[in-house]
Amino acid sequence: MIIGEGAGEVLRRVPRDGREAEWVNLKDRLDSPEFNTYQAYEFFSPDGRVLLYFEEFC
């Protein structure tokens, strides 16, 4: 999981043991009409790994 803060200009990797807490913090702000919202993107590698990228919009 990677979070793009500052409109995606600063990338922050979320370690495996912190992902659940980050998800709780941002899930209600996905595509929200609120001032600070997040857009989610999902990418797959050829070997099946998944990258979740959440970009912050202000």
For residue 16, what are the CA distances in angstroms to 3, 29, 39, 58? 13, 21, 20, 26
The rounded distance, in Å, linking the Cα atoms of 34 and 18 is 24
The rounded distance, in Å, linking the Cα atoms of 10 and 51 is 17
Higher pLDDT, 42 or 9: 42
Q: pLDDT of 1-32, one tens digit each?
A: 888 887 678 898 999 999 999 999 888 888 88
Average pLDDT value for residue range 38-50? 91
Confidence of residue 42 (pLDDT cuts 50, 70, 90): very high
* pLDDT confidence of residue 25: 87
pTM: 0.71
